[in-house]
């Protein structure tokens, strides 16, 4: 990635883009994708704290699917996203699907394959979002075609789920949910709004490191 590839994922990011990507809301889907690819998908020896066998279907999937008017187009978007996985969906423990919900917010949907449940981690849970259960129903229909009968899988909102104090950090919270869940570090999900300046600095460090690693390979 960053003018190269990492673990089969292609993302292009110039050094001059890093600041805007971290702090410009219109770019948050790219931030989320890049963080997953630059950090969570590092080789095991470079990231030994990642325990779960997880898949990732991209931050733009929900938006693409729910913009479609016909089922055939929705199916094509699901096929493209799930086709990037390196295993069949039922071979994972978790599948992460970040969601752009409402008009200007990010949350995380986790498909718990082994537990047969859908979990939503939302840093602004006080707002009811109709588009989340709608998206889950569309996912259920797609998974059924992949021999995963998820019709009766419940949609849960686990507690605790750290809540944001700022209106600008939902994408960062979404990334932290994935990081903690991938590490099985789920006891109270140990982060808060207070940690966000440190987390943003950590994101920038990962992006810059990945950028220079890619430059070294080019």
Per-run averaged pLDDT (10 residues), the chain, 218 residues: 34 54 60 74 55 83 91 94 90 92 87 94 80 94 92 90 78 86 70 78 73 62
Domain CATH code at residue 69: 3.40.395.10
* Residue 176 located in a structural domain: yes
Q: Is residue 3 part of a domain?
A: no
pLDDT on residue 124: 86
- Provide the number of structural domains found in the chain: 1
Instruction: Report the pLDDT value the prediction gives residue 12, as an integer from 0 to 100.
Output: 47
Examine residue 208 and state whether it is found in any structural domain, yes or no. Answer: yes
Assess if residue 50 is contained within a domain. Answer: yes
DSSP assigned state of 14: -
> Whole domain around residue 78: which residue ranges?
15-213
Can you give the pTM of this predicted structure?
Answer: 0.79
- Please give the pLDDT value at position 143: 94
What is the model's pLDDT at position 201?
A: 78
């Amino acid at each position: 990635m960053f003018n190269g590839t990492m673990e089969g994922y292609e993302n292009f990011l110039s050094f001059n883009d890093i600041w805007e990507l971290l702090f410009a809301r219109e770019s948050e889907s790219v931030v989320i994708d890049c963080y997953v690819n630059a950090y969570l998908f590092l080789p095991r020896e470079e990231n030994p704290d990642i325990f779960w066998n997880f898949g990732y279907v991209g931050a733009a999937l929900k938006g693409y699917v729910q913009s479609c008017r016909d089922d055939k187009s929705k199916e094509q978007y699901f096929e493209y996203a799930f086709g990037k996985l390196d295993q069949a969906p039922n071979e994972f423990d978790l599948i992460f699907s970040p969601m752009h919900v409402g008009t200007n917010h990010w949350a995380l949907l986790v498909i718990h394959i082994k537990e047969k449940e859908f979990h939503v981690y939302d840093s602004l849970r006080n707002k009811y979002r109709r588009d989340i259960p709608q998206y889950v129903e569309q996912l259920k229909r797609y998974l059924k075609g992949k021999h995963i009968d998820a019709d009766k899988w419940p949609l849960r909102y686990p507690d605790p789920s750290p809540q944001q104090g700022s209106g600008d950090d939902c994408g960062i919270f979404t990334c932290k949910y994935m990081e903690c869940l991938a590490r099985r570090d789920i006891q109270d999900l140990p982060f808060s709004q207070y940690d966000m300046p440190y987390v943003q600095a950590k994101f920038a460090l990962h992006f810059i490191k990945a950028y220079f690693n890619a430059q070294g390979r080019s």
